[in-house]
């Protein structure tokens, strides 16, 4: 995260490692402005909890709004199974989704901004899948996603407000750009809580549902036992097929 001295706003830069320079090491973004985005619990944040390790506990208790904002944005894709519909398919779809979460009011959204929403979502999905060691995420694909996120951080800066109580980080812009800035700010807050690597995408195609890995060893690769079972059955069939050949 870098600061534009002229405007006083901060540009977020996210990568697989997720280690931007902290604004102030002793300050933690409050994200009170993002509370409405996380008003409804997302399935990926609450399901499949075999263990609550110390790091995951801290992340869950202190970054709920940020987690819900990122998961709420990423988990808007059609999942190929009929469980989720595409929420960014059109201007009307995106406007309805953002309006439901209080992220936009009467601002006009353009078709190009909806395309930008899908592109930002795709880049975030790639990084979350990489966190889960998804075999389809190549080094080239990950590098392209990180370059996109770096560019997005300069397009959708965030503003820091300091007070006696601490600090808040909010989107600098309004409308669709404000939505994107809010998502980047939320992702950066998760990074500051050392939880970015715990944000993952399900490795069972075509699911790719984003979730928080709360396991003790941080090795969870599937969003739910059903997806893990499906992947295991698929792998077993492939082994049998290879053996038959």
* Distance between CA atoms of residues 136 and 139, nearest Å: 10
Task: Give the pLDDT mean for 91-98.
Answer: 97
Q: Return the pLDDT at 127.
A: 97
pLDDT (tens digit, 9 = 90+) per residue, 123-139?
A: 999 999 999 999 999 99
- If one compares 28 and 198, the residue with the highest pLDDT of the two is 198
pLDDT (tens digit, 9 = 90+) per residue, 207-224?
A: 899 999 988 889 999 998
Q: What's the pTM value of the predicted model, to 2 decimals? A: 0.75
Residues forming a β-bridge with 108: none
Q: Which residues of 39-57 are buried (b: 16+ CB within 10 A; e: fewer)?
A: eeebbbbebbeeeeeebbe
**Percentage of residues in the chain with pLDDT exceeding 90?**
47
Q: Which residues, other chains included, contact 88 with Cβ-Cβ below 8 Å and sequence gap of 6+? A: 76, 77, 94, 97, 114, 117, 118, 121
Q: Which residues, other chains included, contact 79 with Cβ-Cβ below 8 Å and sequence gap of 6+? A: 206, 207, 208, 209
Q: Is 242 helix (H, G, I), strand (E, B) or coil?
A: helix
Q: Return the pLDDT at 40.
A: 35
Q: Which residues of 81-90 are buried (b: 16+ CB within 10 A; e: fewer)?
A: eeeeeebbee
Task: Give the pLDDT mean for 219-245.
Answer: 75
What CA–CA distances, in Å, run from 8 to 45, 105, 216? 33, 25, 40
Q: Domains of the chain (ranges plus CATH)?
A: 2-244 (1.10.3300.10)
Give the confidence band of 43 by pLDDT, cuts at 50, 70, 90.
Answer: very low
For the ranges 55-69, 130-144, 190-204, 223-237, which has the lowest average pLDDT? 55-69
| 31: pLDDT strictly greater than 60 | no
11 phi, psi to nearest 5 deg: -100, 130
Q: Return the pLDDT at 51.
A: 35
Q: Return the pLDDT at 41.
A: 35
């Amino acid at each position: 995260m870098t600061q534009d001295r002229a405007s006083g706003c901060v540009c977020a830069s996210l990568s697989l490692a997720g280690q931007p320079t902290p604004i102030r090491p002793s300050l933690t973004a409050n994200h009170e402005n993002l509370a409405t985005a996380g008003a409804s619990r997302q399935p990926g944040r609450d399901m499949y909890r075999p263990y609550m390790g110390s790091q995951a506990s801290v992340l869950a208790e202190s970054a709920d709004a940020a987690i819900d904002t990122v998961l709420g944005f990423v988990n808007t894709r059609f999942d190929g199974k009929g469980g989720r519909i595409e929420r960014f398919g059109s201007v009307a779809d995106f406007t309805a989704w953002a309006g439901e979460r209080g992220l936009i009011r009467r601002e006009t959204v353009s078709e190009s901004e909806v395309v930008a929403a899908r592109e930002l979502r795709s880049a975030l999905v790639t990084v979350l899948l990489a966190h889960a060691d998804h075999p389809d995420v190549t080094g080239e694909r990950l590098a392209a996603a990180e370059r996109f996120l770096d560019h997005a951080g300069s397009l959708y800066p965030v503003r820091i407000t300091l007070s006696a109580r601490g600090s808040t980080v909010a989107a600098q812009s309004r409308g669709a750009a404000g939505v994107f800035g809010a998502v980047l700010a939320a992702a950066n807050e998760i990074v500051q809580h050392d939880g970015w690597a715990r944000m993952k995408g399900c490795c069972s195609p075509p699911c790719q549902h984003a979730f928080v890995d709360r396991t003790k060893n941080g090795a969870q690769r599937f969003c739910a036992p059903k997806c893990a079972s499906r992947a295991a059955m698929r792998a077993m069939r492939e082994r049998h097929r290879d053996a038959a050949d």
